Amino acid sequence: MTIRYRVPNASGGTAARLTFAPLAEPFGVRAVGEVGLTTREIWERALEEVMRDGGDVCHLELSAVTFVDVAGADVLVDAVRRLPVGRRIVLHRPPPALCRTLELFWPGLPAIEVTTS
């Protein structure tokens, strides 16, 4: 799965960009770009796809994600809450602001694991 999404701004340039590519190992995707108002829909579709196709653990490599707004964090939490019991998601190197947002608004979600490696 490789999804590319770019939102043109009024001047014809690119306002926001978010891309996904499959990880070779373990199962999951690598995201690049930012998650905000203009890219939230593609974020939601990509999360649905990876969680639908995954095994017990889905991995999201987020080291190249520069920004995730609160609505984007809410989309992630909503996707995780729909996972069957026993499944989880591992966020690899997420932006610090995403970690703070998750801790502030959704502390202690057992299905989300954050790793800095």
Span 4-22, average pLDDT: 62
Angstrom distance (rounded) from CA 47 to CA 45: 6
pLDDT of residue 49: 87
Angstrom distance (rounded) from CA 62 to CA 104: 19
pTM above 0.75?
yes
Angstrom distance (rounded) from CA 19 to CA 31: 6
Q: Which domain holds residue 92?
A: 3-115
Domain count for the chain, please give it.
1
CATH number, domain containing residue 26: 3.30.750.24
Question: Which amino acid belongs to residue 43?
Answer: W
Angstrom distance (rounded) from CA 63 to CA 60: 9
Q: How crowded is the C-beta side of 68, counted as CA atoms within 13 Å?
A: 26
pLDDT of residue 54: 67
For 48-99, write each residue's pLDDT tens digit: 888 887 678 999 999 999 999 999 999 999 999 998 888 999 999 999 999 9
